[in-house]
A and B are shown apart, each in its own frame.
Chain A
Amino acid sequence: MSAIIVTDLTKKFGEFVAVDNVSFSVKEGELFGLLGPNGAGKTTIINMLTTLLVPTSGSAVIAGCDIKKNPDHVRSKIGIIFQDPSLDIGLTGRENLEFHAMMYNIGTEERKKRIAEVLSVVRLADKADTLVEYYSGGMKRRLEIARGLIHYPRVLFLDEPTLGLDAQTRRSIWDYIRDLNREYKTTVILTTHYMEEADYLCERIAIIDNGKIIALETPEKLKAEYKSDSVSLTIEGPSDPLIEGLEGKEWIREIISRNGSIHLRVINGEEDIPRLFRIAHETGIVISTVSLDKPSLEDVFIHLTGASIREQDGTSRTAIREKQRRRLMR
């Protein structure tokens, strides 16, 4: 059964098409990622799915409820952790959680139990009665995650959950998200522009650019499909005999030789390194070091959109320009 079914979803702001005919579905219990540069339309999709924005056209069904016909029901089944802070800093952590639980009509006893539970999940129990004003960025984020969990949502939306956090906090938040997905069987849909995040967490990833889905696959398949492994060798003595021996092999896509070291792009590094050694042995060449680089999602992204995710800033117009510039440069 699908937790989320999105059909031809479109959102226009005046002339600008922020989300363009997007369709996808997310299985129940899945950890699903929307990956794309800033301004690609990820947050707009999330805002429509969480009923904060009304779609220009198209529809979506979340946990069996239509976002247009039944927004109140949709809201009772979802949790969302927004990209921007959304806490009341004039209240304590516990008060923020209480406010949320009461808005979801959770009874007093149950409320106390669940607040204690989520506070311990995000390790904020000892800071619960401090004003949020005095929380650090990571603590605020953890509190928001705790808040998103209180009402046991069937579907949890995370919009850039680790934006602007240090590496350590980011890792611990990733682990919370994973545990949560496993323990509560919560369907999780997250947006990110961090490749590692999508790779580490998501079972499937939709890559979004300029409001459209340009790829939808598991991270492994995306990587396998769009990029090969790279192997670097350093050898003793001249490299030419080895390069001659390697030329024309169908499992090698590219050979670059640079002062004593050889860089190869191959289809499957683990299988191909032994072959390399065999050929080197046959030609009487000694390999002194070898290293293998697996492709990253970043490589896939560059392949698909023609632009590195980090170089893009804000508006999609600059993204388009950037892309054209890169095409010209090739």
Chain B
Amino acid sequence: MIQFTAIYVLWMREMIKYVRAKSRIVGAVAMPVFMLVFLGLGFRRVEIPGIPDSISYIQYLVPGILGMTILFSSAYTGMGVIMDRQYGFLKEVMVTPASRISIVMGMITGGATISLIQATMMMLLSVFLGFRLPEPVQIAAALLIMLLISIIFINIGLTLSSVLKDFHGFNMIINFIVFPLFLLSGALFPVTNLPAAIRVFSYIDPLTYGVDALRGIMIGFSEFSLVIDIGILLIIAAVMVLTSGYFFQKGEAL
């Protein structure tokens, strides 16, 4: 049972709060901007094995940073749920007749919209560092991939938020899950450069396929074929939506 009004109002709330919280916007893009600027400029002249000569490091880096932006801002949607629980607002949401699935969908659409806005800002900023934007069709395709990545990580965040109820625990998990996911994903360097034992973890990291797909679309270079990337992303996204839906349905609101 999906109630569109409920989804809309939850989405709207996220938007209103996002626009009001200027510091959140700055805070969310600060980290990817630093990464982009310092790594992009610092490794400008370095030849990294696994990246063809025809592709400059900045071209290689930008899709990775976009993946990172999506990862961080999506995972923090779960943080929003923890905050709402802390401030009691989650109870107010849960006591309304809106179905649990509508509530989860409202949270996903809100979080995904914010992630995409931030990634778009990053994409535009990267132009100043010499990134050559692809054609509009490719940008649109890249946004769809980013939406998929965002759905995956929002649902991981939501699942964690319904299991871990306190703020500090969630913060720690974010640091111990989100950072490794980012570093393992090949956002900064080709995962083929990692030792085989570590590379295994790269291949179970959903972001690896997300970043790879973004590269395939935006700069025409990828490790796997796009079909494999997108197929894997779709499967993981479906599994994660069902998982977080299950936890919200079953979990008690308090």
Contacts and interface: CB of A to CB of B under 8 A. Distances in A.
A88 B89 contact: yes
Nearest to B91: A86
Nearest to A72: B97
A165 interface: no
A90 B94 contact: no
B132 interface: no
Nearest to B20: A90
Interface string A231-259: 00000000000000000000000000000
B88 A75 contact: no
Contacts, number: 77
B9 A84 contact: no
B13 A53 contact: no
Nearest to B1: A72
A109 to B, nearest CB: 14
Given A52-B253, A52-B254, A100 B88 contact: no
Interface of B: 1, 3, 5-6, 8-9, 13, 16-17, 20-21, 84, 87-89, 91-99, 252-254
A163 interface: no
Given A53-B252, A85-B87, A76 B9 contact: no
B124 to A, nearest CB: 27
B96 A52 contact: no
A261 interface: no
A102 interface: yes
Given A86-B89, A102-B5, A91 B97 contact: no
Given A52-B252, A53-B252, A105-B3, A91 B17 contact: yes
Contacts of A147: 92
Q: Which of A85, A86, A95, A98 is packed against the most chain B CB atoms within 10 Å? A: A86
A85 B94 contact: no
A155 B220 CA distance: 61
A103 B9 contact: yes
Contact of A100 (B17, B94, B96): B96
A95 B96 contact: no
The 7 closest A-B pairs by CB, nearest first: A86-B88, A76-B97, A103-B96, A102-B9, A75-B97, A86-B92, A52-B253
Interface string A78-110: 101010111111110001001110111100000
B21 A90 contact: yes
Given A51-B95, A75-B96, A76-B97, 18 more contacts: A47-B254, A50-B95, A52-B94, A52-B95, A75-B97, A80-B95, A86-B88, A86-B91, A87-B87, A87-B89, A87-B92, A88-B84, A88-B87, A90-B17, A100-B92, A102-B9, A103-B5, A103-B98
Contacts of A91: 13, 16-17
Interface in A182-225: none
B127 to A, nearest CB: 32
B254 A88 contact: no
A54 interface: yes
Given A82-B91, A88-B87, A90-B17, A72 B5 contact: no
Interface of A: 47, 50-54, 72-73, 75-76, 78, 80, 82, 84-91, 95, 98-100, 102-105, 147
A287 to B, nearest CB: 56
Nearest to A80: B95
Given A52-B91, A53-B252, A102 B8 contact: yes
A73 B1 CA distance: 13
A54 B16 contact: no
Contacts of A78: 95
A51 B84 CA distance: 18
A25 to B, nearest CB: 22
28 contacts: A47-B254, A52-B95, A52-B253, A52-B254, A53-B253, A72-B1, A72-B97, A75-B96, A76-B97, A80-B95, A82-B91, A82-B92, A85-B87, A85-B88, A86-B87, A86-B88, A87-B87, A88-B84, A88-B89, A90-B17, A90-B21, A91-B16, A99-B9, A102-B6, A102-B9, A103-B9, A104-B96, A105-B3
Contact of A89 (B1, B87, B91): B87
Nearest to A79: B95
A75 B253 CA distance: 13
B13 to A, nearest CB: 6
A5 to B, nearest CB: 20
Contacts of A89: 87
Q: Which of B16, B21, B92, B93 is packed against the most chain A CB atoms within 10 Å? A: B92
Nearest to B9: A102
A86 B91 CA distance: 7
A103 B6 CA distance: 5
A117 to B, nearest CB: 19
A16 to B, nearest CB: 15
B87 A75 contact: no
B96 A88 contact: no
Contacts of A88: 13, 17, 84, 87, 89, 92
Contacts of B1: 72
A12 to B, nearest CB: 13
Contacts of B3: 105
